[in-house]
A and B are shown apart, each in its own frame.
Chain A
């Protein structure tokens, strides 16, 4: 499948189907199948999964920590490990933890499918889906500025350490104060950039006319319709199977 040749609206439909199924179908077997499907689709669209993993590295650590906490704190009668009657780890806790991990992974990996289109195509796709241009433009700005924001935070973190602060050697309460000081220049920078961007937009006659025209017009093809229909049918079938026929049955 040529990722770049598929319309961005088709990709949005696939992501919507995968993430909805991931959120609403709370069964570990279904989630595992959805996860495998998401990875296959992402690879088929030539999404850069390694880059996505690298750029969300910290998020994965937080996710794993939440999974561990969730596994420990969910109480049930099926303890795997207990100390003096106090349950540390239960089967239910493990399954719920795994479900949470899979659900978030599906959302993250499915988002990489949309990322195979450039931000101009994403705006145009949203506009042609009748999303108001202002909203679509805001989404595109968020996509465009997130990496810059990340760079700015890491530069500020470096700058504060170069003031002679060894973050590893200070107390956690003090470290929280340091994070407050890191966000001051970042927030100031964001406000300044937003102001400059709005000035730049004004100078290029943003909103000068009621109607906007676009050089880029996306054309949806037969293959796109086929993929969208298949995605919607499979998702609907999964929902009916899970909620009407109660398949697969409850594990716990």
Chain B
């Protein structure tokens, strides 16, 4: 059964350029789906529609069977974790620990539960030594790992990563790949927007190739 279901979605920018017209797409609950295509084909627009950041002109999008038109961004965020192209947009606090803990505190979790969850996620992403450091002083790769940790600490069912390999060297790319494989083994589904075919080939990903006109050219393993 698909986790994300896009049915007849059309979307145009304010200036009138049509990005999608009657787009249908089903994205599986598990495994990796890679959305690929040339610049301007609407990859990021598609994810913004899935996340409810943009609203379609017509058509509907379902997350785990629920119409996202009836959901708030907060409710969507509980189901879907989204990694922005620029991880700095997802760093909100002045220490790594606070950045990971403040949402959990606002949600009313106890300090014990928060502490355990954060210790486990910091060690998973090799960020233990930066626990009390300012996130703004981390390297790009570390900031990206922190941003993914910040998403996962909320335990979403599914992840969408926008160009996660941009700016990463081979070592960091391998580390990211390892983390994603572990998450997939735990049953989490992942959608990656990328130009990096080599990276997604390692995952036996389903490839959704968008044309410049916003049509799906290919949908295959």
- Interface residues of chain A, those whose CB is within 8 Å of chain B, are 152, 155-156, 158-170, 174, 177-178, 181-182, 184-185, 188-189, 192
Contacts and interface: CB of A to CB of B under 8 A. Distances in A.
B89 A185 contact: yes
B53 A177 contact: no
A65 B75 CA distance: 30
16 contacts: A158-B73, A161-B72, A161-B74, A162-B73, A162-B80, A163-B77, A163-B103, A163-B150, A163-B154, A166-B74, A178-B106, A184-B93, A185-B89, A188-B88, A188-B91, A188-B136
B103 A165 contact: yes
Contacts of B90: 159, 163, 185
A181 B92 contact: yes
Interface size class of B (residues with CB under 8 A): 20 to 34
Given A184-B92, A185-B89, 15 more contacts: A159-B90, A161-B72, A161-B74, A162-B81, A164-B78, A164-B156, A165-B77, A166-B72, A167-B72, A168-B74, A177-B106, A181-B93, A184-B94, A185-B88, A185-B90
Q: A interface, by DSSP: helix, strand, loop or mixed?
A: helix
A165 B106 contact: yes
A158 B92 CA distance: 12
Interface of B: 51, 53, 72-78, 80-82, 84, 88-94, 102-103, 106-107, 136, 150-151, 154, 156
The 5 A-B pairs at the shortest CB distance, nearest first, are namely A166-B74, A161-B73, A162-B77, A181-B92, A164-B77
Contacts of A165: 74, 77, 103, 106-107
Nearest to A165: B74
Contacts of B89: 152, 155-156, 159, 185, 189
A189 B90 CA distance: 11
B96 to A, nearest CB: 13
A185 B89 CA distance: 6
B134 to A, nearest CB: 9
Given A164-B107, A178-B106, A159 B74 contact: no
Contacts of B94: 184
Nearest to A174: B106
Contacts of A166: 72-75
A97 B80 CA distance: 46
A158 B76 CA distance: 11
Contacts of B136: 188
Nearest to B53: A158
A162 B78 CA distance: 7
A169 B74 contact: yes
Contacts of A177: 102, 106
